[in-house]
Structure 1
């Protein structure tokens, strides 16, 4: 994430937190493209972890909800899981968006796909930086990425790659809408259960932005 985007995230915290409550927690009966309601966050009981000490110091045993990043920010397992899985989730959306420039027939859809890719690529960079700063792996073997909300199947992705013109446009809108709503659901988990405040602000912004993109795709009438 570049400095400009990081500053935007910090400044948007209060305003976005209020907006996301309206956008991702309710669904307007008059707008079928509004974000779906989010489930309650996954409950995670604190567990004992070993935190390495500084050079010359002993390791410390503490609870997982008291672990802090090098900058002193507290985070928990919900934060970590969200970051690790959203890197993969965003990666698929970026791939889908990249196909639109060569295959989409609708000019407005191509422009929206460019916007999606431009927004999510810096977010992936930030998420990877977040993990490196905490000496955490980018992947967790226990995660089944195929079960992530909104994740498209290999067969669906192959069909999208093979489509062109109006057929591509229809597939893209259906798949990206489902993908975005899945990302909003994942964002809801970290918004309500995570402990890293900046990460929660990022998830707020992500949910609002993707809700706007879902509505824009619906307005195209494809």
Structure 2
């Protein structure tokens, strides 16, 4: 499971950091941040490091230069893609709070907004802390899985009454399913414990919301 993977990865990173500290060497990783210590001695550079394996795999003894970064490109890509993805969902929820007829849809829209708004802030901070570019919702290249096309967003903005409710539910179900696809690789190849935790939150929350929306749609 992803939770077990993150625990194993975290354990491996701690062991690696301890061994490196005892050897008196700093990180030469391109993703590392903070101050660097002086170059280690040849003996310290060659000292073995115990690095935890993935679930079901045993720990390995590797050289300090082979220690895996505590975060990787999968983590950064997930955070980068999910920010504009969430931003479009918030745009949809604002429309729902103005135009939805069914009070349950209005309540759901508020629930989605209260969850995804803070997640955007947290994801942006995660990227910024690692020197990664924080995307803007207005960036034209964003066409992630499940995102509504400009035509779909236009139709949603112009719809009223039950037609709006129908378009909102079908659009948000599509949107959520796309988010699940984006979060899926994190369980297998994500590295950072916080990034994996956020991906699991997305999977859990949005899976439940899909079920709720499918039931609402069936009643229209």
Query: Is residue 145 from structure 1 mapped to residue 147 from structure 2 by the alignment?
Result: no
Match of residue 93 from structure 1: 89
Higher helix share: 2
Match of residue 20 from structure 2: none
Matches for 1:55-70 after TM superposition, within 5 Å: 66-67=68-69
Which one has a bigger Cα radius of gyration?
A: 2
Could you give the per-residue CA deviations for residues 147-206 of structure 1, whole angstroms, max 9, x where no partner exists? x11011011111111111111100001100000000011111122211011211221121
The whole-number CA distance in structure 2 between the counterparts of 1:78 and 1:129 is 17
Give yes or no for contact 2:93–2:113 (8 Å, CA) kept in 1: yes
Question: Cα RMSD between the aligned structures?
Answer: 2.7
The whole-number CA distance in structure 2 between the counterparts of 1:139 and 1:51 is 21
Match of residue 107 from structure 2: 111
Match of residue 163 from structure 2: 167
Match of residue 195 from structure 1: 191
**Runs of 5+ consecutive residues of structure 1 not aligned to the other structure:** 1-12, 15-47, 68-73
Partner SS for 1:145: coil
Runs (4 or more) in structure 1 with deviation over 6 Å come to none
Could you give the per-residue CA deviations for residues 27-75 of structure 1, whole angstroms, max 9, x where no partner exists? xxxxxxxxxxxxxxxxxxxxx84757727868xxx67x833xxxxxx10
Pick closer, same or farther for the CA change 1:128–1:52 going to 2, 3 Å. Answer: closer
Pick closer, same or farther for the CA change 1:54–1:174 going to 2, 3 Å. Answer: same
Match of residue 60 from structure 2: none
Query: Is residue 176 from structure 1 mapped to residue 176 from structure 2 by the alignment?
Result: no
The whole-number CA distance in structure 2 between the counterparts of 1:81 and 1:202 is 13
Match of residue 211 from structure 2: 215
Residue correspondences, number: 166
Pick closer, same or farther for the CA change 1:54–1:79 going to 2, 3 Å. Answer: same
Match of residue 83 from structure 1: 79
The whole-number CA distance in structure 1 between the counterparts of 2:141 and 2:179 is 15
The whole-number CA distance in structure 2 between the counterparts of 1:100 and 1:208 is 23
Could you give the per-residue CA deviations for residues 70-116 of structure 1, whole angstroms, max 9, x where no partner exists? xxxx1000100100110010000011011111110011011011100
TM-score by length of 1: 0.67
